[in-house]
């Protein structure tokens, strides 16, 4: 299967299951991944992250296949922006 067909057929639910398999080394039924399955599954996960997700991780694989690493300052700023609901000063209260 070519990468474009793989991406079209991969739902977010399938991605999450594959990601969990890569992270734990086991399928959902508890069977261990073989080394070949682990490599193939990891490639599929990385492809999905690069082409579909707009990842907030500090290190990802870019759409062209290169590793993209954010600086600590960039990563902290993005996390602060995401987690901010409202900001007040002492005089606002």
Q: Record the tokens describing residue 22, joined without a space.
A: 């890569």
Give pLDDT tens digits along the chain (93 positions): 688 888 888 999 999 999 889 888 999 999 999 999 999 998 898 888 878 876 656 566 555 556 667 677 776 776 666 666 667 777 876
Q: What would the pLDDT profile of 12-21 be if each residue is shown by its tens digit?
A: 999 999 988 9
What is the pLDDT, as a whole number, of residue 60? Answer: 64
Closest C-alpha to 42, from 68, 69, 21, 63: 21
Number of H helices, E strands in the chain: 4, 2
Q: Considering only CA atoms, which of 90, 7, 17 is closest in space to residue 53?
A: 7
User: Residue 61: what pLDDT?
Assistant: 57
Which segments within the chain are labelled E, that is strand? 59-61, 67-69
pLDDT of residue 46: 84
**pLDDT averaged over every residue in the chain:** 79
Cα separations (Å) of 18 from 39, 52, 87, 92, 93?
Answer: 11, 15, 38, 47, 47
């Amino acid at each position: 299967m070519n990468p474009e067909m793989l991406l079209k057929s991969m739902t977010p639910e399938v991605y999450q299951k594959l990601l969990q398999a890569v992270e734990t080394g086991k399928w959902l039924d508890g069977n261990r991944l073989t080394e070949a399955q682990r490599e193939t599954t990891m490639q599929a996960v990385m492809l999905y992250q690069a082409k579909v997700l707009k990842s907030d991780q500090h290190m990802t694989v870019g759409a062209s296949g290169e590793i993209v690493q954010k600086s600590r300052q960039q990563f902290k700023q993005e996390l602060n922006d995401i987690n901010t609901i409202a900001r007040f000063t002492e005089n606002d209260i």
